[in-house]
Amino acid sequence: MSDIADRVKKIVVEHLGVEAEKVTETASFIDDLGADSLDTVELVMAFEEEFGIEIPDDAAETIQTFGDAVKFISSAA
């Protein structure tokens, strides 16, 4: 697993309080990992800080799963 994926997973695990094994490529933050809409805003904020990037609102809306997040950040960082 890439360094970016590791860092994203760490944030997701810490923020949502879920087990690392559940954070799979296709795991949806809301449907599978128990996030609410405010959690998803906070996750995006945490990604922005961790990777020093800006994630615009329209892009943030497309980040639904762990895999989406890693893919977006890999292309932006």
Partner 1 sequence: MFDLTGKTALVTGASGGIGGEIARSLYAAGATVGLSGTRIEPLQALAAELGDRAHVLPCNLSDLAAVDELIKQAVAAMGSLDILVNNAGITRDNLFMRMSDDEWQSVIDVNLTATFRLMRGALRGMMKARWGRIINITSVVGHSGNPGQGNYAATKAGVLAMSKSLAQEVASRNITVNCVAPGLIETPMTEKLNDEQRAKILVGVPTGRMGKPQEVAAGVLYLASQEAAYITGTTLHINGGGDMS
Q: Which residues are catalytic?
A: 36
Residue type present at position 54: E
* Smallest distance from partner 1 to CB 25, Å: 27
Considering the complex, state which of residue 24 and residue 41 has its C-beta at the smaller distance from partner 1: 41
User: Would you tell me which residues interact with partner 1 (CB under 8 A)?
Assistant: 36, 38, 42, 45
Considering the complex, state which of residue 1 and residue 38 has its C-beta at the smaller distance from partner 1: 38
* Smallest distance from partner 1 to CB 42, Å: 6
Q: Please name the residue ranges forming H helices in the chain.
A: 3-16, 37-51, 57-62, 66-76
* Smallest distance from partner 1 to CB 43, Å: 11
**How far apart, in whole angstroms, are the C-alpha atoms of residue 33 and residue 27?**
7
Judge whether 43 and 12 are in contact, CB under 8 Å.
Answer: yes
